[in-house]
Amino acid sequence: MAVQTVAVSTDSSAEAVDLGPAAALSCRECGERFELGPIFACASCFGPLEVAYDLPSGSPEELKKRIEGGPDNIWRYAPLLPVPADVADKPNINPGFTKLVKADNLARELGVTGGLYVKDDSGNPTHSFKDRVVAIAVEAARAFGFTTLSCSSTGNLAGAVGAAAARAGFRSCVFIPHDLEQGKVVMAAVYGGELVGIEGNYDDVNRFCSELIGDPLGEGWGFVNVNLRPYYGEGSKTLAYEICEQLGWQLPDQIVIPIASGSQLTKIDKGLQELIKLGLVEDKPYKIFGAQAEGCSPVSTAFKAGHDIVRPQKPNTIAKSLAIGNPADGPYVLDIARRTGGAVEDVDDEQVVDAIKLLARTEGIFAETAGGVTVGVTKKLIEAGLLDPALTTVVLNTGDGLKTLDAVAATSQATATIRPSLDAFRAAGLAAG
Ligand SMILES: Cc1ncc(COP(=O)(O)O)c(C=O)c1O
Ligand SMILES: [Zn+2]
């Protein structure tokens, strides 16, 4: 097996950091390498840093066996993640290994014949995929000696940080736009950490956090999606690993992924590439599709216009978890969609609601608005002939509908309210036959 060797100095502070196979940080733009640490931008070109590994040696069969014998959570992939070997014994929220649902009813409705699957990440501990990224960031925070965990969040991340901090024994202080859904606010507050609503949108929250991180006020804080971002991002690779393992160690042909900052989409691609490199799946083409809400669609707008630059937008959509107007990984999403032959598309709020209800009605899965975006975009891409219905397709549901009840509350109410009598029920016209 190829081992990526990395030139890093071995001074005592570097040796103290045990993040398993993580060997260094490398700049995505210029390739310069840095020692593992709570840094996120290249000192030479300001490009984003990502984790470089000494990937495991040995045969693919041995590695598969090791993974399959591991715990039923993301730690089964510990040899491919920036975490210590004994990570499963540490207090963490242990997310992952969520269901890959074969969605035959939805497939019939959408005319998909090649196999349609929903990767249902609402099954994570705080009911969104964010538990994956936070679980990894917690291990980095531990390794770097932080005692407070923080983040800027569109809602789900704040809840995931609150829960993981509570379990792992960190203080937490998280920042959200002040006008999020009640379900998101309560989920972020209930774990007992500090929750701060910022008067502004997510991009304002993010800007504030960037200032805080450079100020003595934020000293000693691990911001999971800022100074721990290179580690945090790696958590999304586990979605790629799980999907392939659950398909019997095969790549899907097409994947539809929601986009906020774009981190998840880029790291799923990274995960698929690693599986190919390690020989865990057979190399074949796959297409990656990105999904946005029309009211916050900077990446799909750039994709459809053929631009390489993503122009920031002011978000206005019910899909608040995806409401990032200035997505950090937007240009990389464009590269991946174009390189793989995929696309980036968007749907309006009405289509989001229709798609939430379509998924619920056909598969018994209640998605949050982000899931409505991916299902809605999947339908639109099929209708446009961009997504091939004859190929194996995986659609991500990244969050639980209970967090965004308002999106469907107006159109999902009791069919009838009656007195407790058979006569009243008969009169309501709902009896069988
Ligand atoms: C439910 C849900 N899905 C998808 C995303 C998109 O994540 P990313 O910022 O990695 O693109 C988010 C981000 O907050 C989210 O909350
Ligand atoms: Zn660089």
Per-residue pLDDT reduced to its tens digit, 84-121: 999 999 999 999 999 999 999 999 999 999 999 999 99
Same domain, 326 and 239: yes
User: Looking at residue 32, what is its pLDDT?
Assistant: 98
Distance between Cα 342 and ligand 2 center (Å): 27
What distance in Å separates the CA atoms of residue 420 and residue 407, rounded to the nearest whole number? 30
Whether residues 403 and 305 share a domain: the answer is: yes
31 in any annotated domain: yes
Distance from C-alpha of 11 to C-alpha of 122, rounded to nearest angstrom = 42
Determine which residue's CA is closest to atom 16 belonging to ligand 1. 321
* Residue numbers of the domain that contains 33: 3-53
Which pLDDT does position 15 carry in this prediction? 57
412 phi, psi to nearest 5 deg:
-130, 85
Query: Does residue 247 share a domain with residue 209?
Result: no
Residues 279, 275: Cα–Cα separation, whole Å? 6
For ligand 1, say whether the CB of 135 is within 6 Å of any of its atoms. Answer: no
Shared-domain flag, residues 222 and 239: no
The strand pair at 99-102 and 49-53 is best described as unpaired
Please give the pLDDT value at position 432: 79
Determine the atom of ligand 1 nearest the C-alpha atom of 121: 1
Backbone angles phi, psi at 152, to 5 degrees: -100, 140
What SS3 state is found at 359? helix
Which residues of the chain, if any, have pLDDT below 50? 1-14
Q: In this predicted structure, what is the pLDDT of residue 163?
A: 98
Round to whole Å and give the CA distance between 125 and 236: 15
Can you give the pLDDT at residue 5?
A: 31
Residue nearest to atom 14 of ligand 1 (CA): 321
Ligand 1 neighbourhood includes 370 CB (under 6 angstroms): yes
pLDDT reported for residue 233: 98
Instruction: Clarify whether residues 212 and 259 are in a common domain.
Output: no
- What CATH number is attached to the domain comprising 170? 3.40.50.1100
Res 396: pLDDT: 98
Instruction: Return the residue matching tokens 């390498």.
Output: 33
Total domains in the fold of the chain: 3
Check if the beta carbon of residue 76 is closer than 8 Å to that of residue 97: yes
Which residues, listed in sequence order, are joined to residue 195 by a DSSP beta bridge?
174
pLDDT at position 57 = 85
Closest ligand 1 atom, residue 236 Cα: 10
Q: Is 117 helix (H, G, I), strand (E, B) or coil?
A: strand
Last residue of a domain, one of 188, 211, 232: 232
Q: Kindly report the CA angle at 114 between 109 and 115, in degrees rounded to 5?
A: 70
pLDDT (0 to 100) of residue 1? 30
Q: What is the Å distance from ligand 1's center to 427 Cα?
A: 46
- The reported pLDDT for the residue numbered 13 is 44
Same domain? For 173 and 216 the reply is yes
